[in-house]
Amino acid sequence: MTSAHLAELLALAVLVVVLGRPLGRYMASVYDGNGRSLPWGLRSVERAIYAVTGIDAEREMGWREYARAMAVFTLAGAGILYAMLRLQSYLPLNPTGTASVRPWLALNTAISFATNTNWQSYAGEQVMSYCSQALGLTVQNFLSAAAGMAVLVALIRGIRRTGTGLLGNFYVDLTRSVAYILLPLAVLCSLLLISQGAVQTWAGPAVAHQVDDTLAQTQRIARGPVASQVAIKQLGSNGGGFFGANSAHPFENPTPLTNFVETLCILLIPVACCFLYGEMVGDRRQAWMLFGVMVLLYVTAATVTVRAELAGDPVLASHGVSQASADLSPGGNMEGKEVRNGIVMSAVWATATTATSNGSVNSMHASYTPIGLMAPLLLMQVGEVVFGGVGSGLYGMLAIVVVAVFVAGLMIGRTPEYLGKKIGIFETQMASVIILLPPVLVLAGTALALSIPSAAAAMHNSGPRGFTEVLYAFTSAGNNNGSALAGLGTDTPFYNCTQALAMLVGRIIPAVAALALGGALARKQPTRPGPGTLATHTPLFALWLVFIVLGVGALTFLPAVSLGPLAEHFVSGGRW
């Protein structure tokens, strides 16, 4: 790793904190309805939306009504998107005459984008029209991200409020998430990407005339409204690319500067959510504790991946092939990576996109070394709580905080408390649902796929790598990440159906459990802290939380990871 890499990583870390803190405070003012701190023009847009839709902004919802609104909204969004994809050939903005999407693929894609997963079993430039990309997928990128942010805010209100069962209004929180946060940031990011060469046009494919007469006379180069989709896919932890190559494609990510900006956008709102939490509960120490835990886990994973990729492929090393850096070679494992991005920033992106449930890629994860791939896989398997998706990551981490407080309380013989609220059986049960449901979906889906011959036949690799491909696919779906390994053919009825089910259940059930947790905490009266009260803002509790994250999350998958990346590492000649 060169000094230039270190400087770039330092700049990324500084900007994430420098921008994340004020953004978190701004988000708190948005959700608290502090009109004086909000742009006047956007307040007018918000009021107009309420007037048109008939939303009563003053009426709040209990957790059941809030959960029902969230679930119905998600399912309705999936239904509308499914209809658009099935009717694609009849809709406008289709300059290439792209056919309608097949039923099972349309179902998988609709649920994928409505649940903020953005799993893609297709290449966008071949399957989707401009109408589907811009008015279908991009719209869901905004709405699914906003729904996750709304659930988080409702949970925070439950922690903050006392003696009430009200958590706010889902439609108000959704509207404010889009109008005040996601849309302005996406516009700024889109303009920056366009200035660097990212494509943004409604014209059809460009036609290039070949110089070599032995080749086809013309070449059709796919393009479209790319930059606008890329901006929100990064900011909203969505990840679905306009092109099949995602952000490895130069039209989505043309320069090292856009690569840096897109990496920053992946982390920005998840980091800001930590500071949003500290502002809304009135204790910024809690924000720094959570942020510190996430940074520790992320930096550890990123370091493992960077070192593994810089070390190179163990198979080549076992045959005496030098992978050292030289004047004409960057060294390391450059397979599947863009030269303009390099190994270090590709590995940093790979761990950022799996830590935040973003799922976008600027390199091909299928080409990573076994250990280099293991760290991103584990970041998903711990529950997408290391920063996590916008909203969903933090409410997943707060569920682990509840379990950590509960276990610590049992160990010292005191009633568990968190921020003055007693943690009882119901709260622990809801936190357990949030934590344990995704692993069940992942392991059950993997076992089912491997036990059905036709599903197992979709593996293009055998041995540990083939197993890892299936495990990665269901890990990505069950945790709403969306990234994939290219060695598994998932555009089949089995994978389209089972992954759609995993994505839907893995999104809605934990969100409902988070709202139930918030509703239960909102009804509780605070207790005065005593001499034995567990402080949850200290470095000691932060280390305890890291232990719980690794104990509950990583150890659940240790047998599976041993059969996949670890086995491949040792079979290919790798060493500790």
Place of tokens 């060169």: 2
CA distance 14 to 8: 10
pLDDT of the residue at 533: 81
Name the residue among 41, 131, 148 with its Cα closest to residue 87. 131
Give the C-alpha separation, 498 to 521, whole Å: 34
Residue 246 domain-assigned (yes or no): yes
Instruction: Give the closest residue to 198 by CA, choosing from 257, 147, 139.
Output: 257
Structure tokens that stand for 159 in this block: 């922690």
CA-to-CA distance for 220 and 126, rounded, in angstroms?
12
For residue 342, is it within any domain?
Answer: no
Q: pLDDT at position 445, please?
A: 97
Q: Tokens for 537?
A: 């803002």
With a CB cutoff of 8 Å and minimum separation 6, the contacts of 283 are 419, 537
Q: What is the number of structural domains in the chain? A: 1
208 strand-pairing partners: 219
CA terminus-to-terminus distance, the chain = 20
Token representation of residue 221: 């180069």
Position 524 in a domain: no
SS (H, E, C) 171-227: HHHHHHHHHHHHHHHHHHHHHHHHHCCCCECCCCCEEEECCCCCCCCEEEECCCEHH
Residue 209 pLDDT: 84
Q: Is residue 86 included in any domain, yes or no?
A: yes
For the record, the structure tokens of 32 come out as 């608290």
> Does any domain span residue 92?
yes
- CA nearest to 347, candidates 357, 358, 326, 361: 361
Structural domain of residue 266, as residue ranges?
30-272
Residue 576's CB: how many other CB atoms inside 10 A? 5
Calculate the dihedral angle through the C-alpha atoms of 427, 429, 432, 436, rounding to the nearest 10 degrees: -150
pLDDT at 37: 66
Domain assignment of residue 50, yes or no: yes
Q: Could you tell me if residue 131 is inside a domain? A: yes
CA distance 147 to 142: 9
Distances (CA, A) of 397 to 25, 273, 389: 20, 11, 11
**CB neighbours of 51 closer than 8 A, spacing ≥ 6?**
none
Distance CA(257)–CA(121), nearest Å, equals 29
- The confidence score (pLDDT) of residue 36 equals 66
Rounded to whole angstroms, what are the CA distances from 284 to 13, 259, 281, 546?
Answer: 20, 31, 8, 19
Amino acid at 270: P
The three-state secondary structure class of 286 is: helix
Residue 508's SS3 state is: helix
Cβ pair 82, 112 in contact under 8 A: no
Q: State pTM to two decimals.
A: 0.95
d(CA 213, CA 569): 47
Helix, strand, coil percent content, the chain, rounded in steps of 5: 65, 5, 30
What string of DSSP letters covers 401-453?
HHHHHHHHHHHHTS--EETTEE--HHHHHHHHHHHHHHHHHHHHHHHHHHHSH
Determine the Cα–Cα distance for residues 139 and 230; give it in Å rounded to an integer.
12
User: Residue 328: CA atoms inside 13 Å, Cβ hemisphere, count?
Assistant: 1
Residue 166's H or E segment, with its range, is: strand 166-168
**Maximum pairwise Cα distance, the chain:** 84
Return the DSSP state at 59. Answer: -
Question: Is 75 within the bounds of a domain?
Answer: yes
Phi, psi of 166, deg, nearest 5: -95, 135
Distance between CA atoms of 425 and 443, rounded to whole angstroms? 26
**153-182 as b/e, with b when 16 or more CB fall inside 10 Å?**
bbbbbbbbbeeebbbbbbbbbbbbbbbbbb
Q: What tens-digit pLDDT sequence spans the chain (576 residues)?
A: 788 889 999 999 999 999 999 999 999 999 998 766 677 788 888 999 999 999 999 999 999 999 999 999 999 999 999 999 999 999 999 999 999 999 999 999 999 999 999 999 999 999 999 999 999 999 999 999 999 999 999 999 999 999 999 999 999 999 999 999 999 999 999 999 999 999 999 999 999 887 776 677 788 999 999 999 999 999 999 999 999 999 999 999 999 999 999 999 999 999 999 999 999 999 999 999 999 999 999 999 999 999 999 998 888 877 778 777 776 778 889 999 999 999 999 999 999 999 999 999 999 999 999 999 999 999 999 989 999 999 999 999 999 999 999 999 988 888 899 999 999 999 999 999 999 999 999 999 999 999 999 999 999 888 999 999 999 999 999 999 999 988 899 999 999 999 999 999 999 999 999 999 999 999 999 888 777 788 999 999 999 999 999 988 778 999 999 999 999 998 887 665
Question: In sequence order, what E strands does 2-69 have?
Answer: 61-62
Phi, then psi, of 39 in degrees rounded to 5: -60, 135
